[in-house]
Chains A and B, each alone.
Chain A
Amino acid sequence: MSKTSILPEDWSAKIGRLQIATKSKLRGHHKGSHRSMRFGSSLDFSDFREYHPGDDVRQIDWNVFARTDKYFIKRFLDEQEMRVHILLDSTKSMQDEKKWLLAKQLTISLGQLVLGRDDRLSFATPTDEKRIPFRRKGALYRKAFASYITNLNEPTSKSSFTSQAPQHSAKDCTVLFIITDGLEPIDEWERTLRTLPRFSQDIRLILVQSSDEIEPLYSGDLQLIDLETENRLNVSVSQRVVKEYEQKRQKHFMELDALCRRYGIHTLKVETKDDISHILFHQMIRANWIS
């Protein structure tokens, strides 16, 4: 923990009672804290059924046999772990300080929610350097995860996020969080989003947007440099130019929304000007993402 926490004080305590809400039935094989649809070995009684040859004799309820002279098997509800994967966009477009901070805060918060419930968390981000992906289960690893994310390098990935996302997604996860800024061409997004549903039934796309992007307050002659492509663009900012920019931008995100709807992906737009607690306690709860 080389850096001080990027989150507010007592953050983990505040979010301790929250958990990820999902309708996804896909669960991990390991025992967890979430009730499974399957019968399992938890302490909660479910029902009895007649013994058929081949059943585990250990599950025969001998008390019932003593009273009825019939073999019944006592079944309990199963408790299973949830597998949550967080995919963080670390292309250069995320280099914006506030955006990157918010993205990391979100990652940590969501990760802590998962870990705090003894669920399995995996985290991946497309980077050029080889880095061991975080894959842990249990509240024990909450701090470790927080420091792992806090110490993430500045995003420097050169290739586009959309092309890298499928490689860094984990299979069969209950919930897949994708934290990105969505600033890539819409057709590339389509290609990526089409493949994502096979990784998870519940995919959640968090679009981090800086205030500058939403409402550019530039003026004068500017040479705009694209962080990713390093495109240089001379723009003499005028009201007309800004208006057109806003129209283009709005159109892009509307198309992205439409795409997500088509592939059953939930989206949530967060802005850098908003506080992390506002996002978590208002936006996400309202969207029924966490409960």
Chain B
Amino acid sequence: MGFGQLAFLWTAIIPVTVLLYYFFRKKYKEKTISSTMFWETVMKETKVSPYLQYLQRNALFYLQMLALILLVFALLQPFFKTKAIAGEHIIWVVDTSATMLATENGETVFDRHKSEMISLSEQLAGKPLTMMTTGEEPTILLRDETNLSLIQSTIENLTVQYEQEQLPKMLDFTESLLKGKETAIYLFTDHVERSELPLENDAITWFVKGSPEDIENVSILRFGATQSDESIAALAQLSNDTTTEKSGNFELRSLTDNKVLVNESVVIPAQDTLDLSFKELPATSGLQASLLIEDDYPVDNESTILLQQQSSQTYIDGSLHQLVSAAFQSMDIPVSSVPTVQLVDLTDDAIIVTNQTSQLTISDSPVLLIGRNDEPAKEVNGEITTERDDVFAYADMKDIFVSSLYPPFADYETIARVNDEPFIQRSQRGDLIILADIQMTDWPLHPSFPLFLWSAREQMSTNSDYMGTFSPNERKSLSLVAEEETGDWEIYSNSDEFISTFQNGGQFTAPNQPGLYLLKSGQTEKQFSVVLEQQEKQIEKGTSFTIGTSSQGSVQETVKTSLVPWFLLLIVLLLLIEWEVQRRRGIAN
């Protein structure tokens, strides 16, 4: 114990004054009477316990003395020295990436970090704590929080988000939180190199809590499959990060009927990879690969793939107006301009934007037809009405003027009209046809034009009922329009467990756990999968270390815990007792 304000010792005069007052106080007025005969007997009854009576008579004095002495002590600002976490401002960065699930001795790295955080939180000693999690978007869970129970409940509620930790993003984000005070940043992760940390700021001390144990990991590093006419060929790369040879089974299942297609025993050499290839697999919508080897990190021992073709390239007919390619580029979609004559030779998995009507029949890949080169256009005038369709998710067609239209294709679905004349049509296999040249409308001048092109491309590039592959917690705008009656999309896991809901494609966030998911809105169902990022399939062991200025070199420092509030509480209590004594005894006697 020590004193913060020894200068206040002069206040000891106050209780001493009271003490003197009581010393020199005339205790009893002397009064001579003829006989104390009758008084004596009166007093005898109250003299039963002399000690008690003594206390009774002097209770006020003792209470007052005690209160005043406590007051003097309180002014001296007594404190207890306790050990606490060093640093004025404390930031905890919690890595919630999938690799934190690596298990050692039955406990994941993440759980171990959590229990360490709980024990550290008890040493906070009232210092403000900022807690954040890593990921694509670093999240602040607590900001300058001092409420211990809130801190601990937040720690308890932490879950792994499977995202990549995105260390550079996190570091940039942390920089923004610095206040110039001495800051201790605790990094709860598995592996960080010293060189990765920015060390230019003197006020920061880094406490890195790594995962020092050797963790055995075998993983399906890569898994792919291609579909030819009747059969599927699959390729898997298995990796062994351990120093011993690992053997086990590799299994391939069909997602449609959950039938085991392949079950093969594999032996992966130490710190090496093993490539497996399978051909002539029966046709299926998707494959699930499982590596049945005991290791400390089971998350990466499974991989799912959906066999859907995905077009990535976009080719634009060179004869089309410049505005079309400009619109694509404004949406950051890479496009290639191709002369009209070469369009025929293009690969299958590409989107072609052209005005050559013949491409609808020639090309195997989706075609966005803008205008027709085989029919003349005729004038039209009127308002545009659209069907409820995914391509119009972001494109509002209201104020667009169209001067003339080409004749429509008879058996195609019409999704937009000008005055009951078909304006935009969709073929059975997914081609989109705009029955007007760029020059016939002011649409390219509207912001809805590039948005429409983006939606159209998104829709054509993916199969209509397969949304693609996402990384955990990935945010992506999808061109999706919910069915009218339900109004929103719901995400279900492969085992029909409800995950989340969102209203339109712009709000889509992928679930955090890897696996296959279903997107539902009324009768519409779409599939998508979430897979671990490649980086999350490798586990490195990291050490715990501290980098920082020498003044904060130690993890702990002594903190003065003030006892003043307790003293004040005691004084108030004493005053209450004093008041009660006064009340019972009366002021005069």
Contacts and interface: CB of A to CB of B under 8 A. Distances in A.
A244 interface: yes
Contact of B37 (A94, A96, A235, A252): A252
B28 interface: yes
A94 B28 CA distance: 24
A66 interface: no
Interface in A246-279: 248-249, 252
A95 B32 CA distance: 10
Contact of B33 (A185, A226, A244, A248): A226
A244 B42 contact: yes
16 contacts: A99-B34, A181-B35, A183-B34, A185-B37, A213-B34, A220-B589, A221-B27, A223-B30, A225-B30, A227-B34, A228-B35, A231-B36, A233-B36, A233-B39, A245-B38, A252-B38
B34 A225 contact: no
B27 A233 contact: no
Interface string B560-589: 000000000000000000000000001011
A245 B41 CA distance: 8
Interface of A: 93-96, 99, 181, 183-185, 210, 212-213, 218-229, 231, 233-238, 241, 244-245, 248-249, 252
B29 to A, nearest CB: 5
Nearest to B36: A226
A100 to B, nearest CB: 11
A222 B31 contact: yes
Interface in B26-74: 27-43, 45, 57
Interface of B: 27-43, 45, 57, 586, 588-589
Contact of A227 (B35, B40, B41, B586): B35
Contact of A248 (B27, B29, B38): B38
A177 to B, nearest CB: 20
The 3 lowest CB-CB distance pairs between A and B, nearest first, are A223-B28, A183-B35, A248-B38
Contacts of B33: 212-213, 224-227
A249 B589 CA distance: 23
B34 A96 contact: yes
A231 B29 contact: no
A181 B34 contact: yes
A170 B41 CA distance: 36
B36 A223 contact: no
A219 B588 contact: yes
Contact of B589 (A181, A184, A236): A236
B86 to A, nearest CB: 60
A222 B37 CA distance: 15
Contacts of B38: 245, 248-249, 252
A220 B588 CA distance: 6
A248 B42 contact: yes
A119 B569 CA distance: 84
B39 A245 contact: yes
Contact of B28 (A185, A213, A219, A221): A221
Contacts of B30: 222-223, 225
A223 B26 CA distance: 10
B41 to A, nearest CB: 5
B39 A224 contact: yes
Given A185-B37, A221-B589, 11 more contacts: A218-B31, A220-B588, A221-B27, A224-B32, A231-B36, A233-B39, A234-B27, A235-B39, A235-B43, A248-B38, A248-B41
Contacts of B27: 221, 223, 234
Contacts of A238: 586, 589
B34 A210 contact: yes
Which residue, A95, A213, A229, A234, has most C-beta atoms of chain B within 10 A?
A: A234
A237 B589 contact: yes
B34 A222 contact: no
B29 A221 contact: yes
B42 A220 contact: no
A95 B588 CA distance: 30
A233 B29 contact: no
Given A223-B28, A223-B29, A93 B35 contact: yes
A241 B42 contact: yes
A229 B39 CA distance: 13
B40 A220 contact: no
B42 A235 contact: yes
B511 to A, nearest CB: 81
Given A221-B589, A222-B29, A233 B40 contact: yes
B258 to A, nearest CB: 95
A140 B267 CA distance: 154
